[in-house]
Amino acid sequence: MGKKGGKSKGKVSLGLRSSSVKTASKHPADRVMNQLKAFRAGKKVVVTIANPNKAETNKPFIRVNGKDWFKPESNLQGNN
């Protein structure tokens, strides 16, 4: 009688190389700058911020739409 099929015993990764090496070298401010660039290019951006409502202890961070977080460039120039 033949052997039943099952999981392959072939090449198995040792898990030594992590894909997070690329992101570990970036500065946290780079993410915000990339989000701002995307917002100015007309992309849909979602920003993660600290929750202003301290009563919601189960939600320390919330996601906010970029339209609500980033000010349009017209508001930043010439409002003096």
Tens of pLDDT, residues 44-57: 999 999 999 999 99
pLDDT for the residue 23: 56
Element (DSSP H or E) covering residue 62? strand 61-65
Residue 72's pLDDT band (cuts 50, 70, 90): low
Question: How far is residue 31's CA from residue 68's CA, in Å, rounded to a whole number?
Answer: 18
Convert the pLDDT of each residue in 8-35 to its tens digit: 667 777 777 766 556 566 788 898 899 9
What are the residues whose beta carbons fall under 8 Å from the beta carbon of 38, sequence distance 6 or more?
45, 66
Across the chain, mean pLDDT equals 79
